Amino acid sequence: MAGVYISWPFCAQKCTYCNFASGVEKPEIQAEYLGALCRHLSFQEWPFTPETIYIGGGTPSLLAPDKLARIVEQIPGYPWREFTMEAAPGSLQPQWVNEWVRLGVNRVSLGVQSFVEKELRQTGRRHSALTVVEDCDLLRQAGIGNFNLDLIAGLPFQTQESWEESLAWIERLQPPHVSVYMLEVDEDSRLGLEILGQGSRYGAGAVASEEAITANYERAALLLEALGTPRYEISNFARPGFRSTHNLKYWRGEPYLGFGVDAHSYDGAMRWGSPEQVSEYIAYVERGAPREIAAEAVRPLEERFLTGLRLDEGLIVDLETLPTTLRTRIETAITHKLLVWNGEYLRFTPRGILVSNEVFEGFLGADDLDS
Ligand code: SF4
C-alpha cells in the first residue's frame, strides 16, 4: 500500500551544507503555506488508504500540534502503520511529543549529523551531544522507541578522532535506526558557494577528503553491524524490525503521494512534483495543483535500477534478458567488482557502495532503458 509525504519547509536556521527547499520564514508566510498545504490535501481523491506518512522538510518538529492536526486529519488510514516526524535536536517538547503520539506519530527521525561541538557550530546547528541524549530519553518516555539518528560523514573539521566521538555516542544511545550520509557539497548550499569561491567561511577549507569521507562511512558501517544494526540500504542501518517502512516504498518502487514544496509523487508509471519555492507552491495550489505540469513518464528499467539497487538485498535480475547497453555496463561493473550477481540477485559489493553514484550515472547513460 502507498505512502504519503508531507513537506514542512521551514527551519530555525539555514544550515551551511543544506541544499533542500527549506529556509527561515515569517509566521505569516508559514500560515499561508499551511493553508495551501491543507487545500492541496483536500483536492486529493484517495485511490488507496495510506499505510505510512512521512513529514519532512525543513523542520516539521517546529510545527505546533494543532497545526499538524489540521494536516493529518485530512489523510485517511489513522492509525497509520508508520508515521515519521523529522525533528531537529533541541526542538522536542514533552507536551508536543505526547500530542504527536496522539495524532499517530510512532517514529521520529532526528537530524543529529554530529555529536561534536566544533563540527555542529560550523554547520549552523545549535544542539550539543547532551541535547540528543535528552531527546532520545524524551522519545522513549513518550513511547516512541522507533527513532532514527542521522549522521554526516565528512563535515568540515571532522577528523577520524572526532568521528569516533560521534560513533561512541551512537554506541551509548543504541538507536534502533541510523542513517549515515557521505557529505556531498552542493553548489546551491552556502558551504558549496564558499568552496567554489575559495573562501574559508563555514569551514570551507576544512572539508574532509573523499578518501577520509569514505573511510569514516566504512568505519560507521562496521561498527553499526557489530552493534546489531546492519545496513539495509546505502545510507540506512537498522535493527531487525526497525527498517523504515515508508522509505522502503521508494526503493521498492511502490506508489506514494507528496504534498508541499518540492514533494514528489509516483503512481507506478508517472512521476510528478510540486514547485520548489513556497510562493510558487501557493500559486500552484490556487490553480488546483495540476499534476500534468510536472508529470513525466518513468523509464521502468531505469527506475528499477536506481531505486532497487540501493537496497542490500539487491534486485532480482535476469542479465540475459536485459537490453544490450545496460547488460554490458552491468557486466563491466561486475568485472570491476563493484556489483555482484549470483544468477538471481544483483547487488553492490562493499566497494561498489562507496562509488554507487558513479555506477548509477553509468546506468543513466544507457540509451535502452525504456524497456
Ligand atoms: S539541513 Fe535540515 S534543519 Fe538544516 S536547513 Fe536543511 S532542512 Fe533545515
Summarised one tens digit per residue, pLDDT across range 26-59 is 999 999 999 999 999 999 999 899 999 999 999 9
Q: Which grid coordinates belong to 268? A: 507506478
- pTM for the model stands at 0.94
Q: How far apart are the first and last CA of the chain?
A: 25
How many residues in total does the chain contain? 371
- Cα–Cα dist 33/285, whole Å: 10
107-113/147-153 β-pairing: parallel
Which ligand 1 atom sits closest to the C-alpha of 124? 4
Whose CA is closest to atom 6 on ligand 1?
A: 18
Ligand 1 atom closest to 13 (CA): 5
Average pLDDT over residues 132-155: 98
* 14 Cα–ligand 1 center, Å: 6
**Phi then psi for 253, rounded to 5 degrees?**
75, 25
pLDDT at 21: 83
pLDDT value of position 203: 87
Averaged pLDDT for residues 202-212:
88
pLDDT digits (tens, 9 = 90+) for 53-91: 999 999 999 999 999 999 999 999 999 999 999 999 999
15 in contact with ligand 1, CB cutoff 6 A? yes
Look at residue 296 in the predicted model and tell me its pLDDT: 79
Residue 347 banded pLDDT, cuts 50, 70, 90: very high
Mean pLDDT value of segment 121-127: 91
Residue burial 44-75, b: 16+ Cβ < 10 Å; e: rest = eeeeeebbbbbbbbbbbbbbebebbebbbebb
Instruction: Flag whether pLDDT at 177 surpasses 70.
Output: yes
Q: Give nearest CA residue, ligand 1 atom 7.
A: 58
Residue 96's pLDDT band (boundaries 50, 70, 90)? very high
Candidate of 16, 20, 191 to mutate for ligand 1, largest count of ligand atoms within 8 Å of Cβ:
20
The residue whose CA is least distant from atom 5 of ligand 1 is: 14
217 Cα to the center of ligand 1, angstroms? 21
Instruction: Answer yes or no: is pLDDT of 101 > 90.
Output: yes
- Residues 95-123 have a mean pLDDT of 97
In terms of pLDDT, which residue wins out, 104 or 321? Answer: 104
Pocket test of ligand 1: the residue of 6, 14, 24, 188 to mutate, having most ligand atoms within 8 Å of its CB, is 14
Question: How remote is the C-alpha of 43 from its chain's centroid?
Answer: 26
d(CA 363, CA 367): 9
Nearest CA to ligand 1 atom 1: 18
152, pLDDT greater than 80: yes
Is any ligand 1 atom within 6 A of the Cβ of residue 41? no
Share of the chain above pLDDT 90, in %: 76
Q: Is the CB of 70 under 6 A from ligand 1?
A: no
- Average pLDDT value over all residues in the chain: 93
* Ligand 1 atom, smallest distance to 9 CA: 7
Question: Which has more confidence, 296 or 62?
Answer: 62
CATH 1.10.10 residue window(s) in the chain:
299-371
Cβ of residue 18 lying under 6 Å from some atom of ligand 1:
yes
List C-alpha distances in Å: 168 to 83, 90, 115, 223.
28, 20, 9, 10
Does residue 365 surpass a pLDDT of 80?
A: no
Q: pLDDT-derived band of residue 366, with 50, 70 and 90 as boundaries?
A: low
What is the location of CATH 3.30.750.200 in the chain?
3-250
**Is the predicted pLDDT of residue 206 greater than 60, yes or no?**
yes
Q: Give the sign of the dihedral formed by CA 339, CA 340, CA 341, CA 347.
A: negative
10, 22, 190: which to mutate for ligand 1, most atoms within 8 A of CB? 22
Between the CA of 168 and the centroid of ligand 1 the distance, in Å, is 24
Q: Is 339 exposed, middle or buried (0-12, 13-18, 19+ CB in 10 A)?
A: buried
pLDDT at 298: 81
Residue 201 has pLDDT above 70, yes or no: yes
Fold held by 3-250: Transcription Regulator spoIIAA (3.30.750)
**Is residue 59 in contact with ligand 1, taking CB distance under 6 Å?**
yes
CATH number of 299-371: 1.10.10
| Confidence band for 115, pLDDT divided at 50, 70 and 90 | very high
pLDDT value of position 367: 57
Whether 191 lines ligand 1, by a CB cut-off of 6 Å, is no
- CA-nearest of 111, 102, 17 to 60 is 111
Residue 44 grid cell:
486529493
**Which of the four pLDDT bands, split at 50, 70 and 90, describes residue 370?**
low
Ranking 7-21, 212-226, 228-242 by mean pLDDT, the lowest is 7-21
Q: Which residues contact 84 (CB under 8 A, 6 or more apart)?
A: 52, 53, 54, 55, 56, 105, 107, 108, 109, 148, 244, 246
Percent of the chain with pLDDT over 70: 97
Q: Which of 93, 212, 116, 103 is nearest to 166 (CA)?
A: 116
